[in-house]
Structure 1
Amino acid sequence: MHNRLAEFRHLAGISQENLAIVIGVSVAYIRKIESNKSKTNVTINIAYKLAKYFNTDIETLFDLDLDKYQ
């Protein structure tokens, strides 16, 4: 799953470390999500917290590729 977390984080001027603290996860988890190479599963709870923090929706932050299910 591709995501725009790094892009949103850079635009907001927040470090991976500070974002991890705010969201309540480890820095390693943020790094894995941002890598887009890792098959890291993001829980809906964490996806919601991230989207809410960046004042966007989950669909904008994460490419859910929902078209393949229609």
Structure 2
Amino acid sequence: MDSSLRDADLPADLSPLAWVQEELRRSLESVHKTLRRLARDSADNHSTAFGGEAQPSQPLKQAAAQLHQVSGAL
């Protein structure tokens, strides 16, 4: 290999992540659905679906936990 090539010049090898791609996609879809549902419910009911200022709602906490798991996998 030419010594002038650096790692940044080579394409990224994403094969190690291929086995988790489907699970990541499902998790992100679940988070997306939860957030859309909370936003819709909040707009429809003028309620505190997002938990107000005091404390986040349980669905919002679950969505945050799923996002944390996704970021950990990446």
TM-score normalised per structure 2 = 0.28
Task: Identify the structure with bigger relative contact order (alpha carbons < 8 Å, sequence gap 6+).
Answer: 1
